[in-house]
Amino acid sequence: MNDEMRERLTRLRSIPALERVRERVSTFSSGDRVIFYLFAILFSAISLLGFYALEQSLLVEVPAYGGTLVEGVLGSPRFINPLIAISDVDRDLSALTYAGLMGLSGTGGLILVLAQYYDLSADGKIYTFTLRENIKFSDGSPVTADDVIFTVQKAQDPALKSPKYADWSGVRVVAIDQKTIQFTLAKPYAPFLGLTTLGILPSRLWNKISDEEFPFSILQTNPIGAGPFKVTDVSRGVSGLIESVYLSENQYYTNGRPYLDGIRFNFYSRSEDLTNDLENGSIESAYDLPAGRQVSRIMTAPYARVFGVFWNQSEKRVYARIEVRKALSLALDRQLIIDEVLGGYATAIMGPVPSGGSVQQFPIPQFENRTAAAAKMLASAGWAYDGSRRVWENKSAKQTLDGITLRTSNVPELKSVASAVKENWEKLGIPVNIELYGPGDLSQNVIRPRKYEALLYGMVIGRDQDLYAFWSSQERNDPGLNIALYANKTVDALLDNVRGSTDQKVRADNLQKIEDIISADYPAAFIYSPNFTYNVPNNLRGVELPQIIVPADRFATVASWYRSTDAVWPIFVNQSR
């Protein structure tokens, strides 16, 4: 023991208060001294516990860095690239590795990511974005206006055949300087801001790659982006298909490195194998499992999709009669279909706007007996049922409803929904024949040439609920998506107004009118708007699900997901990241 230490101990022993206590205790009997020291120890322990409890009551739990997540996904990636991603798997990985000027929040709104701010001209046609300072790609190189210009112009290149081509065609883009980009539209288009979530590519790596070589670049599976994660490991099977991808945190991410250290994706060709691995713990998360097979903690969000049976009166004139369309719609027991076929993960609808937004859904009429109500509606409009022939006949109109051929995609969900629809309509005395097609075959040989009388199908609606392509009279022919061949001049005007107005209240009011008018016309027997389901581990926190357009939207708040926590004093909460 050195002299300094001896001096400190001597000072401690000579503290006056302690000296007096020591002198007083020295007068105690040996038994009293034992009791005194026991009480002193007990008092000290209680005091320490009290201070600890007080501290714990004042401390705040905050997210901490660390931990990983293992997710299972159907399919295998080909193009981890926002310009040519063609599958949900491609879009998942692109959303994690790339970032756009704007991004998606957990509530479904748009937030600034690579952009610091933007301005909109008074005429609604010019958007000017200014980039943040010191933003970088995952390799540490800077993100500049040149990268934004290159990405958009590449999307506009018809030779690349990008799925984003239609979004960006006709948009003029120029760089004002290395931090400022200006987009000029031919006319006001309110949903444009949503397009700026497009992931930005580093031009210095891509600008010498030809359109022909573009899909085959090594950068397709080893991307360099500005998103929250970066690909650090790719595992392939003997066939050459990618079996797993590991993404680690991107330390350069503009909004701060993610809390999770990484996410591993394991890819499956069969949903049964994926579900089994989730049940046995080989993976921890997965989305949209078959009804009845969800395990662990399930999060849900509304899909921006509507499913129903769309009528084609050009193929069968009987569907031109509103009482026929309405009776067939009212005969459907939507809630039973949702409960028994979809496991309860959907919302019954009567109109074209998906649930989960600001639009109030058109009310679903309630009947004690739907079949009887539908039959009564037909009878009141002059239709009579011939049970021996299984035909509804309207002699004054010289029309018959003697059967329905229902065409749909040969996928499990739609097959089951079609069977339930068939059962409902056959209770009304109408024979139903179901024809199933592969998704590609349905699109090319049924939908595009409009070769169907009744089509069970789902419309994927954009985040801005732009219904123009689905219900404008200008979109009745291929490549338009107005599969009900609907035409209504009032609706046409409202659709144009929704597209052109940047006033959110005006847009919402017009959307409500569109919902009400189309619902009352019964151009389709709308059935349900599905829910997105996401199985996640119980200790994964920070997950917020917006309204889902594509499954990759589940990663809206991925940089804030966490599995570890720290306890800090409130004063340090804002400094914890």
Q: What is the band of 12 on the pLDDT scale with cuts at 50, 70, 90?
A: very low
Top pLDDT among 422 and 359 is at 422
pLDDT of res. 368: 93
**The pairing of beta strand 242-249 with beta strand 229-236:** antiparallel
Tell me: the pLDDT tens digits for 161-220?
A: 999 999 999 999 999 999 999 999 999 998 999 999 999 999 999 999 999 999 999 999
Quick check: helix, strand or coil at residue 326? helix
Between strands 126-131 and 68-74, the pairing is unpaired
Q: Alpha carbon of 231 to those of 70, 96, 102, 187, 508: distances in Å?
A: 14, 9, 22, 39, 40
Other Cβ atoms less than 10 A from the Cβ of 508: the count is 15
Distance CA 544, CA 348 (A): 24
- Please tell me the predicted confidence (pLDDT) of residue 5: 53
Can you tell me whether residue 15 is helix, strand or coil? coil
Q: How far apart are CA 303 and CA 548, in angstroms?
A: 5
Contact of 356 with 529, CB cutoff 8 Å: yes
Q: Which of 83-87, 448-452, 564-568 has the lowest mean pLDDT?
A: 564-568
Residue 344 CB contacts under 8 Å (≥ 6 apart), including other chains = 291, 338
Tell me what pLDDT residue 405 has: 98
Lateral strand order in the sheet of 172-177: 115-120, 126-131, 180-184, 172-177
Do 226 and 137 meet the contact criterion of CB atoms below 8 Å apart? yes
Q: What is the mean pLDDT of the chain?
A: 91
For the stretch 532-576, pLDDT in tens is 999 999 999 999 999 999 999 999 999 999 999 887 666 655 654
Identify the weakest region by mean pLDDT among 237-241, 328-332, 379-383, 394-398. 237-241
- Whether the per-residue pLDDT at 295 is higher than 70: the answer is no
pLDDT digits (tens, 9 = 90+) for 335-350: 999 999 999 999 999 9
**Among 46-60, 130-144, 430-444, 478-492, where is mean pLDDT lowest?**
46-60
Write the DSSP symbol of residue 258: -
In the DSSP assignment, the letter for residue 541 is B
Query: Are 349 and 530 spatial neighbours (Cβ–Cβ below 8 Å)?
Result: no
The token duo for 480 is 């338009």
